[in-house]
Copies of this chain bind each other. A is one copy, B any other.
């Protein structure tokens, strides 16, 4: 992830504000950036607004937290490297391995091996694809595995 950004807290605050002000569902979910350190983004959503008919976390909330965490990891990496771009998810798979009974805590690490070729492609062609993994654990056991492919286009905004 290169050198730590001098103002990483401000970037995380900007990311959370962007989600909550521009995506009504993210606001309804109460999503927040928990931490961003050593290339790993951790995103939290509280239990209450995200329950399903069974009282555990709604599959759509779990997916939404994952897809936003992946999006946020790309957004932060671009900003850390002094660039911006349109980031969209193209394809994703989610596996629900066990119910999530409390708050949702999602983790995504954007590996250097995935980021560096993407940054090179962006510089050369203005477009890159980034495969990402996000995970949600409960009591130390894997509850959700998410794989998403994000497309970044630096010729457009956001």
Task: Report which A residues bind B (CB closer than 8 A).
Answer: 18, 22-26, 28-29, 48-54, 58-61, 63-64, 67-68, 86, 88-96, 158
- Tell me the minimal C-beta distance from A153 to chain B in angstroms: 11
Q: Residues of B contacting A92 with CB < 8 Å?
A: 59, 93-94
Task: List 22 contacting pairs A-B, 8 Å CB cutoff, sorted by A.
Answer: A22-B51, A22-B52, A23-B53, A23-B58, A23-B60, A24-B48, A25-B28, A25-B60, A26-B60, A54-B86, A54-B88, A58-B64, A59-B88, A59-B89, A60-B60, A60-B64, A60-B68, A61-B64, A89-B96, A90-B95, A92-B94, A93-B93
Are A24 and B18 in touch, CB under 8 angstroms?
A: no
Are B53 and A22 in touch, CB under 8 angstroms?
A: yes
Determine the distance from Cα of A23 to Cα of B91 in the docked complex, in whole angstroms.
25
Are B91 and A94 in touch, CB under 8 angstroms?
A: yes
Count identical subunits in the complex: 2
Q: Which residue of B48, B52, B67 contacts A60 across the interface (Cβ within 8 Å)?
A: B67
Interface centre among A52, A64, A67, A94 (most CB of B within 10 A): A52
Q: Which residue of B24, B48, B94 contacts A28 across the interface (Cβ within 8 Å)?
A: B24
Determine the distance from Cα of A68 to Cα of B53 in the docked complex, in whole angstroms.
11
